[in-house]
Amino acid sequence: MERKNAWEKYPEGKKKEEVFAFAEEYRKFISKCKTERECVTELAGKAKAAGFTDLEEVIKKGTALKAGDKVFANNMGKGLALFVIGKKPLEGGMNILGAHIDSPRMDLKQDPLYEDTDFAMLDTHYYGGIKKYQWVTLPLALHGVIAKKDGSVVEVNIGDKPGDPVFGVSDLLVHLSGEQLEKKAAKVIEGESLDLIIGSIPKIVDENDKEAAKEKVKANIMELLEAEYGIEEEDFLSAEIEVVPAGEARDYGFDRSMIMGYGHDDRVCAYPSFEAMLKVKDPEFTSVCLLVDKEEIGSVGASGMESRFFENTVAEVMNATGDYSELKVRRALKNSKVLSSDVSAAFDPNYPSVMTKRNAAYFGKGLVFNKYTGSRGKAGSNDANAEYVAALRNIMDKQEVSFQTAELGKVDQGGGGTIAYILANYGMNVIDSGVAVLNMHAPWEIISKVDLYEALRGYVAFLEASI
């Protein structure tokens, strides 16, 4: 079934300007917010400015929530849940947009700093599914936090501000890489070789002091860090510092129809999901935007979708509406409808053999629905019910949202998963729905601006619907 290119709906004029204006807002967002913590800080601030109240304040003051009220809950600074209370009781279900805000990257190890042959180095452990060879010879930045024993937390952001230095992982020169080039791609760069070079000037010390003369470059770096951040080497033990590509997201193509940037997976779905919540007015069913961490490593941990954060938050919200019971919480979850807002693999004309053209996602064709993901025999997948798919088709067509359907490559070619199956464990109707991405999981990914805009329109239509 051929789908029209969504750009054809937006000839020159105000509507096309809206597409580019929203894309520019998003471009600035992903340029600024390269970690889950940065995303939560930025979006929580925007939520407050838009009239959302912190749920902690609601609980503390014993405020009663009613239809039209807007609240948010912050999960350890790494996740966010926003609610616009609907006219119908929560027991009848919620319309939920669920996305993740973590992205593939490298993390510093707990004891990362060392010196080797007059280079100061930082030891890393990669996070999520990456092609390791893509991360060498790139300008990289450090973003994160260092928690000190006195309870203070130092924010780190080096490599993205004007005038900042950058860091990087070196690679073999082609003249000496004969053996390296014989290796399979998965082994060309080993995980333990992804260490950052961060300095090479030795500290001036008394050469008679044998202890001080041992690691002079490392000592110089620590002196700089102590002066700038007031930290000592042991503070790395309680740090969370992420290594990400340095630089802003950029317009891509002569026509500026695309954006190349770090972290499209999955912030290209998280951002329009959040923005859709700001546009919802007086919904019938409670609207929810759920932004979670740790999807790229299995949705584990207290800030991942596998945690009880969302379930506990729903219970607190229902209690604040004066309509709480354990049974009603279970009913509210079971009766909910979800768009698991996650990216899909875009058809790449350079690599056509891994997809079937009839069931692939394309740039410019709008919001993507993946009835199922998983791998091979749909393993690890949520497979949406046909009735739910039909209801969503009706919503999108009524609002003239451009959408397409796809699956993640050819059968037996590969595959992947999202948070969809975890929400489906509650008995909810769930389907994956997001934006097509080229270069997925690479340091620099690419999306279409019109697909981003259609995702926003589709998410708004979903939140306002009475399914």
Quote the pLDDT of residue 303.
96
Give phi and psi for 285, each to the nearest 5. -100, 145
Quote the pLDDT of residue 415.
78
- Identify the CA nearest to 83 among candidates 291, 235, 229, 244: 291
What is the C-alpha end-to-end distance of the chain, expressed in Å? 25
**Mean pLDDT across the chain:** 95
Q: For residue 279, what are its two tokens?
A: 């546009």
Quote the pLDDT of residue 213.
66
Residues 189, 136 contacting (CB under 8 angstroms): yes
Question: 165, exposed or middle or buried, with CB in 10 Å at 0-12, 13-18, 19+?
Answer: exposed
Q: For residue 88, what are its two tokens?
A: 């119908």
Quote the pLDDT of residue 211.
66
pLDDT beyond 90 at 24: yes
Residues 383, 340 contacting (CB under 8 angstroms): no
List of E strands, 85-118: 94-100, 105-116
DSSP state of 305: T
Instruction: Read off the pLDDT of each residue in 354-383 and give the average, rounded to a whole number.
Output: 91
Instruction: Read off the pLDDT of each residue in 153-180 and give the average, rounded to a whole number.
Output: 96
**CB burial string 30-63: b at 16+ within 10 A, e below:** bbebbbbbbbbbebbeebeeeebbebeebeeeee
Distance of CA 281 to the CA centre of its chain: 26
- Write out pLDDT tens, residues 249-261: 999 999 999 999 9
∠260-138-219 over CA atoms, to 5°?
135
pLDDT beyond 90 at 416: no
Q: Find tokens 């805000």 and name the residue.
A: 101
Residues in Cβ contact with 210 at an 8 Å cutoff, skipping those fewer than 6 apart: none
Three-state SS at 427:
coil
Three-state SS at 99:
strand
- Identify the CA nearest to 342 among candidates 27, 103, 45: 103
Q: For residue 69, what are its two tokens?
A: 């009220």
d(CA 55, CA 69): 11
Quote the pLDDT of residue 212.
64
Instruction: Read off the pLDDT of each residue in 281-301 and give the average, rounded to a whole number.
Output: 95
Instruction: Read off the pLDDT of each residue in 355-374 and give the average, rounded to a whole number.
Output: 94
- Write out pLDDT tens, residues 183-231: 999 999 999 999 999 999 999 877 766 666 688 999 999 999 999 999 9
- Write out pLDDT tens, residues 35-84: 999 999 999 999 999 999 999 999 999 999 999 999 999 999 999 999 99
Instruction: Read off the pLDDT of each residue in 6-12 and give the average, rounded to a whole number.
Output: 92
d(CA 419, CA 441): 17
Residues 465, 396 contacting (CB under 8 angstroms): no
Q: For residue 397, what are its two tokens?
A: 């067509």
The helix or strand, by DSSP H or E, that contains position 379, with its residue range, turns out to be: none
Quote the pLDDT of residue 14.
87
Q: How does DSSP assign 266-302, residue by residue?
A: HHHHHHHHHHHHHH--S-SSEEEEEEEB-GGGTS-ST
Quote the pLDDT of residue 209.
65
Instruction: Read off the pLDDT of each residue in 142-158 and give the average, rounded to a whole number.
Output: 96
Quote the pLDDT of residue 16.
94
Lowest mean pLDDT among 122-131, 183-192, 319-328, 407-416: 407-416
Give phi and psi for 330, each to the nearest 5. -60, -40
